[in-house]
Amino acid sequence: MDISIVQLNTFMYAWIGLAIVILPIQFFITAPYGRHYNTAWGKSMSNRWGWVIMEAVSIIGLSILFLGAPGEKSLFAWVAYGLWALHYVYRSFIFPFRTRTKDKFIPIGIVASAIFFNLINAGTNGYYLGYLETYTNDWFFDLRFIIGIILFITGMLINFFADNYLIHLRNGNPNVYLIPRGGLFEYISCPNHFGEILEWIGFAIMCWNLPALGFAVWTVANLVPRAWSHHKWYRKTFSDYPEKRKAIFPGFL
């Protein structure tokens, strides 16, 4: 099936529009996994394997489309593919085995909706990078590439170190939650979500195409409300939670 750039972009406008509609709704419906886990969404499965399955879709989907596309690819397309792969190989096959969440569950409904979300985002980005891209080597000297890759790497490091800190915080006991302290945690409750948003905004600037922008907008639509729910939960759970700390954007929200 051949999809033209006009068709793909038309779809992307609709997909981005949907994210903008869903963003405010997500402030009222907290996705029930992690600390917000409950059984209201029906049957559950192992949290660890749920993460592996839902996140692996992203790297497998992107790889099938990108690597399976005929013809030569630009060097930049390989760089973009490599960065996506770096993030998602870690997120799918390493992160779930590092979290201290043994015997925890995740609703199958959450896993299914994440699979759908990842299929669309990996599908649109993979199709663009495999079949439609027209980057030349001059792109590596473009300000958009330079700003984008700096944001991507900065966001990735913030996300990795914040997740790493949280993983070690509970000292092995899956049911313990503590107040995170130090570094960016002094300013916001969820530096891991902030880093992830920075990362995909950087990717969108670096790639300068609508599928990459779509993924960044959806990441904002998912993670800003999730960080807000985490922040409310922290305030409710710990009476000594730092007053001035914001949810996700230092000094702002």
Q: Which of 8, 46, 74, 170 contacts ligand NDP by CB under 6 A?
A: 170
196 makes contact with ligand NDP (CB under 6 A): yes
The residue behind tokens 């059984």 is: 39
- The least CB distance from residue 183 to ligand NDP, in Å, is 14
26 makes contact with ligand NDP (CB under 6 A): no
Please report, as residue ranges, which positions from 72 to 131 form the binding site for ligand NDP (by CB under 6 A).
99, 101, 104
Which C-beta is closer to ligand NDP: that of 135 or that of 212? 212
The residue behind tokens 């839902």 is: 54
Which C-beta is closer to ligand NDP: that of 125 or that of 192? 192
Helix, strand, coil abundance in the chain, percent, nearest 5? 70, 5, 25
Rounded to whole angstroms, how far apart are CA atoms 227 and 176? 19
- The least CB distance from residue 101 to ligand NDP, in Å, is 5
253 makes contact with ligand NDP (CB under 6 A): no
Over the range 62-97, which residues count as b (16 or more CB within 10 Å of their CB) and which as e? bbebbeebeeebeebbebbbebbeebbebbbeebbe
Count residues near ligand NDP (CB under 6 A).
22
178 makes contact with ligand NDP (CB under 6 A): yes
61 CB contacts (<8 Å, ≥6 apart)? 118, 119, 122, 123, 126
Which window, 7-15, 74-82, 192-200, 201-209, contacts ligand NDP (CB under 6 A)? Answer: 192-200
DSSP 151-189: HHHHHHHHHHHHHHHHHHHTTT-TT------SGGGGTBS
Which window, 2-10, 123-131, 141-149, 219-227, contacts ligand NDP (CB under 6 A)? Answer: 219-227
- The least CB distance from residue 174 to ligand NDP, in Å, is 6
Which C-beta is closer to ligand NDP: that of 19 or that of 139? 19
Token digits for 52?
């592996």
The site for ligand NDP (CB under 6 A) is made up of 34-35, 99, 101, 104, 159, 163, 166-167, 169-170, 174, 177-178, 180, 192-193, 196, 219, 222-223, 226
